[in-house]
């Protein structure tokens, strides 16, 4: 029966009813309890069958901290378990989607960090003091301590790919370095035309640990970007197939809402089956192997002669100045681009 008391076959488009909306719902009498949670790196809300996850560190370009992976996994799980949610939308508050990792702590090797809001990281592989010691150019590098730290982030971001429900990234302003590790795990990317997208740290001190560029772009275009560290616009990302579409910045919100609303009309079981079927192709391509190899090489890149030179320069003049010196020769990081240092990409 339907909410109107009619057999479902006699009601127009009854298959679009929500999981709680029918008389014989599996969820009858099982109302969800409100969850009182505050997050350090993001916000979470559900409206119109859409779970909305928004990175919420605009003063730091929504850069990734130790809180980010734990909190992202938690809210994606909340969305997956919620029968009201049909699609998950990921976006960033402020001037851009995500400026990558908040790496100044490691590059400048000063050991300072805002304490994570979740369980203490002291004495673990993500303890910033432990990682600073493991990045000491004059000490012994333990590659597996490095891998244990970075793989935690990569596995957490992969929850977007492995979530039962479709995930959509809405990117604007900038989506660079570690920010792309997050966005590329989403099932769909929609971008503002002028969004800056890329992985500049391949120039020194980084390899994209998600290992997804070739899977998303194909071999040649992935190499074109990662051999140079160059960025592309959102418009070009759509032309190349990295984004499903792009829109002028002032139309991005409306276009995104149209897309997620269309997805939200679909039954959740249909969405889950289609996503599982299509993800099997990515699994066959070896996505997990690509991530493992890329995460190892990301650690290696920070412990080469060049990587140590970059780190020592950052410790001397500051991380942002070292990034400027790295990128300016490529013509995409002029001094005037650093006027607002509080809200731009970090790496």
* 10-38 per-position pLDDT tens digit: 667 776 777 777 767 677 767 776 776 89
Token couple for 186: 């989403």
Using 50, 70 and 90 to split pLDDT, how confident is the model at 340? Answer: very low
Contacts of 1-4 with C-beta under 8 Å, sequence gap 24+, read: none
Q: What is the pLDDT of residue 5?
A: 58
- Statement: residue 335 has pLDDT above 60: no
Q: What is the pLDDT of residue 244?
A: 98
CATH 3.20.20.70 is right for the domain spanning 35-338: no
Q: What is the pLDDT of residue 239?
A: 98
Q: What is the pLDDT of residue 26?
A: 72
| Residue 139 CB coordination number (10 Å) | 9
d(CA 302, CA 135): 8
Contact predicate 153/291, CB 8 Å = no
The domain ranges of the chain are 35-338
d(CA 241, CA 224): 14
Secondary structure element (H or E) that encloses residue 92, with its range: strand 87-92
Instruction: Report which of 58, 123, 129 is spatially closest to residue 344, judged by C-alpha positions.
Output: 58
Indicate the Cα dihedral angle 16, 20, 22, 25, nearest 10°.
120
d(CA 196, CA 149): 27
Token couple for 150: 């970075």
Q: What is the pLDDT of residue 35?
A: 73
d(CA 338, CA 330): 15
Quick: pLDDT tens for 120-143.
788 999 888 899 899 999 999 999
Q: What is the pLDDT of residue 94?
A: 98
CB burial of residue 347 (10 Å; 0-12, 13-18, 19+): buried
Token couple for 175: 């989506």
Quick: pLDDT tens for 278-323.
999 999 999 999 999 999 999 999 999 999 999 999 989 998 899 9
Phi, psi of 58 (to 5 degrees): -60, -30
CB burial of residue 336 (10 Å; 0-12, 13-18, 19+): exposed
| Residue 93 CB coordination number (10 Å) | 15
Using 50, 70 and 90 to split pLDDT, how confident is the model at 193? Answer: very high
CA distances from 10 to 6, 17, 146 (A): 7, 13, 60
Mean pLDDT over each residue of the chain, to the nearest integer: 89
């Amino acid at each position: 029966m339907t909410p109107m008391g009619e057999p479902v076959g006699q009601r127009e488009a009854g298959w679009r009813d929500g999981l709680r909306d029918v008389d014989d719902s599996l969820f009858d009498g099982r109302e969800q309890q409100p969850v009182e949670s505050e997050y350090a790196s993001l916000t979470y809300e559900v409206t119109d069958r859409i779970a909305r996850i928004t990175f919420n560190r605009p003063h730091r370009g929504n850069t990734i901290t130790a809180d980010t992976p734990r909190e992202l996994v938690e809210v994606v799980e909340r969305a997956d378990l919620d029968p009201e949610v049909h699609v998950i939308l990921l976006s960033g508050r402020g001037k851009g989607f995500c400026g990558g990792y908040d790496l100044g702590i490691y590059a400048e090797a000063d050991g300072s960090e805002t304490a994570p809001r979740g369980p203490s990281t002291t004495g673990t592989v993500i303890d910033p003091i432990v990682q600073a010691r493991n990045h000491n150019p004059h000490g012994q590098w333990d590659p597996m301590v490095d891998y244990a730290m970075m793989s935690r982030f990569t596995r957490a971001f992969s929850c977007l790919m492995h979530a039962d429900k479709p995930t959509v990234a809405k990117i604007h302003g900038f989506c660079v370095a570690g920010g792309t590790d997050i966005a590329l795990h989403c099932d769909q990317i929609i971008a503002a035309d002028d969004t800056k997208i890329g992985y500049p740290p391949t120039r020194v001190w980084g390899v994209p640990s998600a290992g997804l560029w070739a899977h998303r772009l194909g071999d040649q275009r992935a190499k074109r970007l990662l051999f140079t560290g160059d960025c592309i616009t959102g418009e070009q990302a759509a032309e190349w197939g990295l984004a499903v579409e792009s829109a002028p910045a002032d139309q991005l919100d409306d276009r995104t809402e149209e897309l997620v609303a269309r997805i939200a009309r679909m039954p959740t079981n249909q969405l889950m089956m289609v996503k599982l079927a299509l993800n099997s192709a990515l699994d066959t391509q070896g996505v997990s192997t690509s991530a493992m190899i890329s995460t190892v090489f990301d650690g290696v890149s920070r412990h080469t002669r060049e990587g140590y030179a970059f780190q020592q320069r950052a410790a001397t003049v500051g991380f942002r100045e070292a990034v400027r010196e790295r990128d300016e020769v490529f013509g995409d990081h002029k001094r005037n681009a650093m006027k607002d240092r509080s809200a731009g990409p970090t790496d």
